[in-house]
Chain A
Amino acid sequence: MRWIRQNVIGAIAILVLLYLFLPIAVVIIFSFNNPVGKYNLSWNEFSLDAWSQICGVPGVCSSFVTSIQIGLITTTFATILGTLIAFALVRYRFRGRSSTNLLIFMPMATPEIVMGSSLLALFLNLSFPLGAVTIMIAHIMFIISFVVVAVKARLQGMDPRLEEAARDLYASPYATFRYVTFPLVLPGIIGAALLGFSLSFDDFIISFFNAGTLVTFPIYIWGAAQRGIPPQVNALASLVFMSALLIVLSAQLVAWRKRRSLATR
């Protein structure tokens, strides 16, 4: 009986994972499609056109580059601001801690459409021109909270004795931070930055409200969905998916090998 139960759970788990990957498979497969008409929704014939002429459709690649640029700038700012907050929350006592926590929690508990529309209301009332700047302002705002949560978790998981040891060995506060604390927190910061970049790169709702005439990659897809998405979009999205997967898997592999070498030492 128990044997059956365990395997039922395993079977369900695998089915759910397959469900998660089903649309990804469709996205990748349809990047090799040569669609009839403008809608790339049903299979016609195998073709490498989308891959060999990946920028062949006007607007696709420029929107892609725009999204990468916005993502890089946004991630840099949000990671710095969020990391500073995380350090303050974990390492210092100060008045106003619970309101700080609330202010960080709120953007994560607010639907994107509310954040997007309220920022648009602000920019409209100030007659502030919409474009790359307003999108970046918005992205930094909603990504800070995610960075705080990720870096905070890393800081809290650190062994405090490592820093105490550095201090006991007469390291200055700066040296302790530079050679002990920072290298230990760095993986958490990198993880937070990767998360931040993927959130910014893929954000549609908030960007759509604050873009004006600027076209990011998701905004391009939204517009194209009405008149037919070219397979080039599928090719680019597949490329992003596979490179992100590669980055995460190699990070996993490095961590796994480090653990193994520590265990055998």
Chain B
Amino acid sequence: MAHVLPAVAVTPAIAEASKRKSRVAYFLLIPGLAWLAIFFVVPLVTLFMTSLQTESVTSPGKYVPGLQLSNYTDALAEYWPQFLRSFLYAGLATGFALLIAYPLAYFIAFKAGNWRSLMLVLVVAPSFASFLLRTYAWKTILADDGPVTSTLNSLHLLPDGRILNTGIAVVAGLTYNFLPFMVLPLYASLDKIDYRLIEAGNDLYGSPQQVFRKVTWPLSLPGVVAGTLLTFIPAAGDFINAELLGSTKDKMIGNVIQTNFIEFRDYPTASALSFALMTVILVMVLSYIRRSGTEDLV
């Protein structure tokens, strides 16, 4: 807050003024918040209600309001492998992204000097080229007769002898696509660290590993939490990478929701899966934020 109110008895005039001020605030808030309420909150309620609909007896293919809880159990019984796979792939991608984003963010925050803002631009710049087209480009890079695959093959590192159309390609694509979402929060929180704290650690004969473990890493935790969330959440719901880079055995829950909603028009099943995905992610996010003790994310 810019203005800290002094601790004096509130006179009627001040109370009147602050009431007027809060009226202005509501005037500013209402259009945007109403939009979010109508087009974010209400649809979630609709999604939940759709997930409980039953198929009409009189006209098959149409759905009527109901309380069909078995939509959830049926959907999860059929699609639990894709559900688990989504969290596995998203978890792996988040881990890899953290691993490669940290050195980059560290370098930009502490070593880049005059190049800092240019490097930040370079981190964001890939997002200016189409997401789909960049993902599609990995098809060329990871092609079976391409240099990456043949190099790894000559080292006998690939169990299937290929990358494209395997889970490896999907995880690689997810890692790539959401990497900037990891770098930026990491950079923001590393940049806030007083570098003298790190120097003090070095001066007190801490080994580089000790200084990192006891000083740098704990101080960068808010960035780690924000970055992992911003990477994990979109990765878990993604279906573009699995569709373009994976085979039918690598489908994620996003693919299932998309095909059920748009191709099969099985709205209750798709809604149940979508609502379940949101619930699981929400529970994970809340417990993760609580455990890591950084509540102030916005």
Residue of B nearest to A110 (CB): B278
| CB atoms of B28 and A85 under 8 A apart | yes
**Does A169 touch B at the CB level, under 8 Å?**
no
| CB atoms of A23 and B141 under 8 A apart | yes
A103–B254 Cα distance when bound, in Å, is 24
Residues of A within 8 A of B (CB): 1-2, 5-6, 9-10, 12-13, 16-17, 19-24, 26-27, 30, 41-42, 81-82, 84-85, 87-88, 90-95, 100-101, 103-115, 117-122, 124-125, 137-138, 140-141, 144-145, 148-149, 160, 198, 202, 204-205, 208-209, 217-218, 221-222, 225, 229, 233-234, 237-238, 240-241, 244-245, 248-249, 252, 255-256
| CB atoms of B32 and A85 under 8 A apart | yes
| CB atoms of A92 and B22 under 8 A apart | yes
| CB atoms of A109 and B233 under 8 A apart | yes
Q: A125-B46, A229-B133, A237-B133 are in contact. List 15 more A-B contacts (CB 8 A).
A: A9-B107, A22-B137, A23-B129, A23-B137, A30-B137, A81-B32, A85-B32, A103-B37, A104-B36, A105-B298, A113-B237, A118-B274, A144-B35, A209-B258, A252-B118
**Partner pick for A85 among B33, B103, B119, B271, CB 8 A cutoff:** B33
Of all A-B residue pairs in the complex, the 10 with the closest CB atoms, nearest first, are A111-B237, A92-B25, A244-B128, A81-B32, A13-B107, A118-B43, A23-B137, A118-B47, A26-B137, A88-B28
30 CB contacts below 8 A, A to B, read A9-B107, A13-B104, A13-B108, A27-B129, A41-B143, A42-B140, A42-B143, A85-B28, A88-B24, A91-B2, A95-B22, A105-B298, A108-B230, A109-B229, A109-B233, A113-B257, A117-B261, A117-B270, A122-B47, A202-B127, A204-B132, A222-B132, A225-B132, A225-B136, A229-B133, A237-B133, A245-B121, A248-B124, A255-B117, A256-B117
Interface string of B175-209 (1 = CB under 8 A from A): 01001100000000000000000000000000010
The interface residues of chain B lying within 8 Å CB-to-CB of A225 are: 132, 136, 244
Residue of B nearest to A120 (CB): B261
State which size class the interface on B falls in: 35 or more
Residue of B nearest to A103 (CB): B36
**Partner pick for B42 among A115, A122, A222, CB 8 A cutoff:** A122
**Does B122 touch A at the CB level, under 8 Å?**
yes
The interface residues of chain A lying within 8 Å CB-to-CB of B139 are: 41
| CB atoms of A10 and B133 under 8 A apart | no
| CB atoms of A234 and B107 under 8 A apart | no
**Does B126 touch A at the CB level, under 8 Å?**
yes
| CB atoms of B39 and A218 under 8 A apart | no
Min CB distance B117 to A, Å, is 6
The interface residues of chain A lying within 8 Å CB-to-CB of B80 are: none
| CB atoms of B127 and A198 under 8 A apart | yes
**Does B8 touch A at the CB level, under 8 Å?**
no
Min CB distance A255 to B, Å, is 8
The interface residues of chain B lying within 8 Å CB-to-CB of A101 are: 298
The interface residues of chain B lying within 8 Å CB-to-CB of A149 are: 298
| CB atoms of A17 and B123 under 8 A apart | yes
| CB atoms of B25 and A93 under 8 A apart | yes
| CB atoms of B130 and A240 under 8 A apart | yes
The interface residues of chain A lying within 8 Å CB-to-CB of B236 are: 111
The interface residues of chain A lying within 8 Å CB-to-CB of B15 are: none
The interface residues of chain B lying within 8 Å CB-to-CB of A27 are: 129-130, 133-134, 137
| CB atoms of A20 and B123 under 8 A apart | yes
| CB atoms of B141 and A22 under 8 A apart | yes
| CB atoms of A92 and B24 under 8 A apart | yes
The interface residues of chain B lying within 8 Å CB-to-CB of A107 are: 36, 40
A144–B28 Cα distance when bound, in Å, is 13
The interface residues of chain B lying within 8 Å CB-to-CB of A82 are: 32
The interface residues of chain B lying within 8 Å CB-to-CB of A87 are: 28
The interface residues of chain B lying within 8 Å CB-to-CB of A198 are: 127-128
Interface string of B103-117 (1 = CB under 8 A from A): 110111001000001
| CB atoms of A114 and B237 under 8 A apart | yes
The interface residues of chain B lying within 8 Å CB-to-CB of A85 are: 28-29, 32-33
**Partner pick for B35 among A110, A141, A238, CB 8 A cutoff:** A141
Cβ < 8 Å to A, chain B residues 138-163: 138-141, 143, 145
**Does B18 touch A at the CB level, under 8 Å?**
yes
Min CB distance A242 to B, Å, is 8
Min CB distance B248 to A, Å, is 14
A115–B39 Cα distance when bound, in Å, is 9
Min CB distance B207 to A, Å, is 9
| CB atoms of B129 and A238 under 8 A apart | yes
The interface residues of chain A lying within 8 Å CB-to-CB of B47 are: 114, 117-118, 121-122
Cβ < 8 Å to A, chain B residues 17-57: 18, 21-22, 24-26, 28-29, 31-33, 35-37, 39-44, 46-47, 49-50
**Partner pick for B133 among A1, A17, A233, CB 8 A cutoff:** A233
A105–B106 Cα distance when bound, in Å, is 27
The interface residues of chain B lying within 8 Å CB-to-CB of A41 are: 139-140, 143
| CB atoms of A17 and B298 under 8 A apart | no
Min CB distance A232 to B, Å, is 12
| CB atoms of B26 and A94 under 8 A apart | yes
